[in-house]
Amino acid sequence: MATTQVETVTSTADKLKLTAAVGLVVLAVVAYYLLSGHGALVRWAALLVGLVAAVAVFLSAEHGRQLIAFGQDSVREVKKVVWPTRQETTQMTLYVFAFVVVMSLFLWLTDKTLEWVLYGLILGWR
């Protein structure tokens, strides 16, 4: 059996970008709490600006570009899906409900039969 080894190569610049993105998130949260004496609008603006900057830095790194490519591939795959019609959906839903009813009756009958055999015939408790 052959195994393939996947190597992740990240440059120093990408590592610095990821570190900067994490630092910007931390800085945004700290700024939000340090600006508690100011209005809510200033606090939220500082938080949002810091988060947007962190996202921008993250997306400029290799991991961010891979995330964007993954998202684009996912959208492309979702467009390939053949969704069922309303009639097919209704029909399958009714099949599921019918199966649930049949299974619940089967399990109820099995339970009552086992109860009768164990308690009524074998143990004689009734």
Confidence band (pLDDT; 50, 70, 90) for 74? very high
Q: Is residue 17 a contact partner of residue 61, using CB atoms and an 8 Å limit?
A: yes
pLDDT of residue 66: 93
pTM: 0.56
Distance of alpha carbon 81 from alpha carbon 75, whole angstroms: 10
What is each CA distance from 107 to 50, 111, 124, in whole angstroms? 57, 6, 23
In this structure, what is the dihedral angle of CA atoms 99, 100, 105, 106, given to the nearest 10 degrees? 60
User: Across residues 3-17, what is the average pLDDT?
Assistant: 75
